[in-house]
Amino acid sequence: MKIVQELFRDYRFTLGFIFLTALVALAFLSFLSPYDPVKWLQVPRDMPPSWPHILGTNSKGQDVFWEATFAIRNSLLIALIAASVSRIIAAVVGLIAGYKGGSVDQALMFLTDGILVLPLVMMLILVASIMKGQISLVGLGILLAFFGWPWDARTVRAQVLSLREQVFTQTAMLSGKGVLALVLGEYMPHISPLLLSTVLNNMTWSISSEITLAILGLSKLETPTLGTMLYWALRRQALLLGYWWWILTPVVLTLVLLVGLYFISVSLCEYLDPRTRAQRVTME
């Protein structure tokens, strides 16, 4: 409880929490939608905001508000899948490389560096082009996860290399503690905050990547996401035709989502930083 109180003292964490809570609430509203998110011509087309269509309708004959609720839900789902899977990969690779060392470390770091030097945007576009229109939300999340773990794996490895030289590691090994018990019991408490602080950054990257692929027409365009909303608004020239509500909705929602993730990420990083933690203890 004390940790939560300290975090909420930071206005950035408070704002980020409010932004994300509001968006998650909108995402849950999608389960109450009276419309099918895929079907067209369910409502009159190109209507400005008015009751009952509070954010207007688009040229596909869809209610923009209810489409946005599905878009937020699907974009968050992609980001959560990408962040979760990539954190698992980063933790496993970093722990094994850092603890084992030697040829195992060299092989894993060779693989990690090989992915790091790839032009990620071009690789994502290439893979998405091959699977154009066939990749599901879960598949897209896993694809983004595959390219989103190397930097964090190197960070975990560096932390484990430092922990391996500590006295408690030698003590645990001499006492007969197994490798798995050592890693889970001694190393994970140090690694977990590090992984937690990178989750939000990876979610931000995943959402931005999904929007990029969608705007290029390389994702499953009939599935509503923030990216596909922008794609259809641009494709139907919403801005030129004056349908500002159609294109403004995904733009504002994307900005709110990314700013919220950024504020919470910065606040958490500062809170978990040992230097700032020592300053707080001194002030208290």
Per-residue pLDDT of 217-256, as tens digits, reads 888 888 999 999 999 999 999 988 999 999 999 999 999 9
Q: Specify if 65 maps to a domain.
A: yes
State the Cα–Cα distance between residues 67 and 75, nearest whole angstrom: 12
Q: Specify if 248 maps to a domain.
A: no
Sign of CA dihedral 149, 213, 121, 251: negative
Segment 71-86 mean pLDDT:
94
Sign of CA dihedral 72, 78, 81, 84: negative
Closest by alpha carbon to 148, among 72, 85, 73, 106? 85
Is the overall model pTM greater than 0.75, yes or no? yes
Q: Specify if 252 maps to a domain.
A: no
Closest by alpha carbon to 76, among 269, 260, 242? 260
| CATH number for position 239 | 1.10.3720.10
Q: Specify if 249 maps to a domain.
A: no
Q: Specify if 209 maps to a domain.
A: yes
Q: What was the pLDDT predicted at 159?
A: 83
* Pair of tokens at residue 181: 């018990």
- Among the ranges given (116-130, 136-150, 264-278), the one the predictor scored with the smallest mean pLDDT: 264-278
- Among the ranges given (43-47, 187-191, 199-203), the one the predictor scored with the smallest mean pLDDT: 187-191
Q: Specify if 198 maps to a domain.
A: yes
* Residues 150-168 pLDDT 10s: 888 888 888 888 877 777 6
Q: Specify if 264 maps to a domain.
A: yes
pLDDT of residue 212 exceeding 80, the answer is yes
Q: Specify if 148 maps to a domain.
A: yes
Residue matched to tokens 């919220």: 260
126 CB-near residues (< 8 Å, 6+ apart) = none
Residue 114 structural domain: 2-243+257-283
Q: What's the number of domains the chain is made of?
A: 1
Sign of CA dihedral 53, 55, 56, 62: negative
* Pair of tokens at residue 132: 């154009």
124 contacts 190 by C-beta, under 8 angstroms:
no
pLDDT of residue 259 exceeding 90, the answer is yes
State the Cα–Cα distance between residues 114 and 16, nearest whole angstrom: 35
